Structures are given as C-alpha cells and as structure tokens.
C-alpha cells in the first residue's frame, strides 16, 4: 500500500491537472462560440457562390476554357490535410491522419506505391505526423490558425491550384473535419481539383432563364469567379476544421475533468483508509506496549 506522503502527492497532482483541464475547457468554449459563428456565416456564402458559378458556367456553353476543370489520367496526387496546431483534442487530429492513410492505402494505392502522392498540410500536427511517416510534404502552413484569415489560407490554396494548372498534380483532394456540433465532427474527403461538373438535373433551371446583363463580359466574370470560388472552398474547410477543433478540445477537456474528479475520489478514499490503518497500527502498538509494561 502506498504511503500517506505518496497519496497526498498524487492528490495534489491530480487536483492541479483538474484545474488546468477546467480552464482549457472554458477557453475552448469561448473560442468555439466565435469559430461557430464564423462557419455558420461562411456556409451560405460559399454555397451561393458555388451555385452562381455553376449557373454562369452553364450559360457560357463552353465558351470559357476552365483550366481547373481539365481531367487527366491520375498519376500525381496532392492531398490537402487540415489538422490543428495543438493537441489535447481527443481523436481530432488522428482521424484526419487515418483519413489520409485510408486514401493512400485504397483509392491512391498505386500512386502511393510509385511515390507520386504529395501531402500539403494546414496545421502543425499534420505537418509533424506526415513528415515522421516519410510522406512527401510540401509547404509549411503550420501557424495558419494563430492568425486565421482568408489571406493566410489563400496562400495554401494558391499553391495547390498552381500545381494543378502546371501539371504537377493531376488530382487534388481535401481531407478535413466538418463541424456538426460540439460533440460530433465528421471527417470529409472531397475532390478539390479538377472541378467536378454538376449534373444537368442539379443545375438551377430557373436561373438559366433569367436574362442577365453582364459587365464586364460573361467569360471574364466566370474566369474571375472560378479561382475565388476554389479559395473560398479551402477557406470554408479550414473554418470547419477550426470550429471542430475547439468543439473536440472542449469535449476532451470536459471528459478529462470528470476523470480527474473520479480519480480524486478514489485517491481520497485510499488516503483515508491508509491514514486509518496507520492510526489503528499506532493504537495497537500503544496498547501492546502498555500491556507489556503492566505484565512486568
């Protein structure tokens, strides 16, 4: 049985840990509120922009050359993995790593075996994890979340877009955590490039009948919207991941606080039992000593 000093030391240690996890939970809750507001505002904008682009592209009737929609044989693959800069968020980062590994062991196994799979990581945890596993990681966007904004994310998106246009990559996929609620994050694997054409039945027929007046030309507007829409798509994924991270960390710290509380109960019970056993032993020794003296 552990000594009273060891049990007291463990109680102090667990109490300190519990205070830290409580504080981290409160910080994550405050950050989650802001991150959740940001993604809820971004979703309608991203969806509307995508819809406008689809309708305008349909109206252009092939008059615009879309460099980002060129379909090629998939030899070289780029996977954009969105993780966090910090840990202590449960399975948040490991789920993204597992998602990427599932792609390299399944859909892109032949390309991976040939050494033609490249990883672009947004977030330090992903950067460190894939470098340790020997993946070809390009760019270092480890501190994106410390100053999260469209401009910081745009740099990573432009790197992937430029690589696709130059023929460096034939396909680009996005892997990130989509925010559903505080306790639930869904790992999403989406094709980023080439742009997938929307089926004819999904195109807004009513919008195609509207007589638009374009200034500048229809083609110039589409050529301007396509790169912007792609950057918004990456920015939306990063905002989803940011909200998911804070939700996952809040849940993990809440659970850690509960576990610390349960451990404290057990330690205090052990402490009281140990203390009682020590007192009983001392009493027995005193009684034994007294009896020995009286017998003399």
Distance CA 42, CA 179 (A): 12
Residue 12 in any domain: the answer is no
Residue 15 in any domain: the answer is no
Number of separate domains in the chain: 1
Query: Is 0.85 topped by the overall pTM?
Result: no
Nearest to 153, CA basis, from 186, 120, 185: 120
* Secondary structure of residue 120 in the 3-state scheme: strand
Q: Which residues contact 131 (CB under 8 A, 6 or more apart)?
A: 137
Residue 62 in any domain: the answer is yes
Residue 128 in any domain: the answer is yes
Distance CA 51, CA 70 (A): 20
b/e map 194-223, b = 16+ CB within 10 Å: bbeebeeeebeeeeeeeeeeeeeebeebbb
The angle at the Cα of 228, spanning 222 to 230, to the nearest 5 degrees, equals: 100
State how far Cα 191 lies from the chain centre.
Answer: 17
Nearest to 72, CA basis, from 175, 188, 168: 168
The CATH number that applies at residue 64 is 3.40.1380.10
Query: Which residue range(s) make up the domain with 218?
Result: 23-253
Length of the chain: 296
> Both tokens of residue 69?
């929609």
Residue with tokens 């710290």: 253
- Residue 50: predicted pLDDT: 77
The one-digit pLDDT tens for each residue of the chain (296 residues) are: 567 888 888 899 999 999 999 999 999 999 999 999 999 899 898 888 877 776 666 655 555 567 888 888 999 999 999 999 988 888 999 999 999 999 999 999 999 999 999 999 999 999 999 999 999 999 878 888 888 899 999 999 999 999 999 999 999 999 999 998 888 899 999 999 888 766 555 555 555 555 666 677 777 777 788 889 899 999 999 999 999 999 999 999 999 999 999 999 999 998 888 888 878 888 887 877 777 777 66
Residue 7 in any domain: the answer is no
Residue 46 in any domain: the answer is yes
Nearest to 243, CA basis, from 189, 181, 192, 154: 181
- Residue 183: predicted pLDDT: 85
- Residue 208: predicted pLDDT: 52
Residue 282 in any domain: the answer is no
Residue 284 in any domain: the answer is no
C-alpha distances (whole Å) from 231 to each of 79, 85, 101, 107, 202 are 15, 21, 25, 25, 23
Nearest to 127, CA basis, from 66, 83, 179: 83
Distance CA 17, CA 28 (A): 16
The angle at the Cα of 293, spanning 292 to 294, to the nearest 5 degrees, equals: 95
């Amino acid at each position: 049985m552990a000594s009273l000093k060891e049990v007291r030391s463990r109680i102090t240690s667990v109490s300190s840990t519990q205070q830290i996890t409580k504080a981290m939970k409160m910080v994550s809750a405050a950050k989650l509120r802001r991150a959740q507001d940001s993604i809820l505002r971004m979703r309608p904008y991203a969806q509307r922009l995508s819809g406008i682009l689809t309708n305008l592209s349909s109206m252009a009737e092939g008059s615009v050359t879309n460099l980002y929609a060129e379909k090629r044989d998939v030899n070289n693959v780029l996977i954009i993995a969105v993780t966090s800069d910090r840990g202590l968020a449960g399975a948040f980062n490991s789920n993204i790593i597992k998602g990427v590994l599932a792609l390299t062991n399944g859909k892109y196994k032949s390309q991976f075996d040939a050494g033609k799979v490249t990883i672009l990581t947004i977030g330090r945890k992903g950067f460190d994890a894939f470098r340790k596993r020997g993946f070809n990681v390009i760019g270092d966007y480890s501190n994106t979340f410390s100053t999260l904004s469209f401009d910081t994310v745009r740099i990573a998106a432009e790197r992937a877009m430029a690589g696709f246009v130059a023929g460096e990559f034939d396909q680009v996929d996005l892997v990130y955590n989509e925010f559903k609620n505080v306790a639930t994050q869904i790992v999403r694997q989406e094709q980023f490039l080439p742009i997938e054409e929307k089926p004819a039945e999904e195109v807004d027929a009513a919008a195609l009948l509207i007589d638009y007046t374009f200034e500048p030309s229809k083609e110039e507007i589409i050529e301007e919207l396509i790169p912007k829409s792609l950057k918004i798509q990456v920015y939306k994924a990063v905002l989803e991941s940011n909200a998911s991270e804070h939700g996952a960390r809040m849940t993990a710290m809440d659970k850690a606080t509960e576990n610390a509380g349960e451990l404290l109960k057990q330690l205090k019970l052990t402490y009281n039992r140990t203390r009682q056993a020590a007192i009983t032993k001392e009493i027995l020794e005193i009684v034994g000593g007294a009896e020995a003296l009286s017998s003399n």
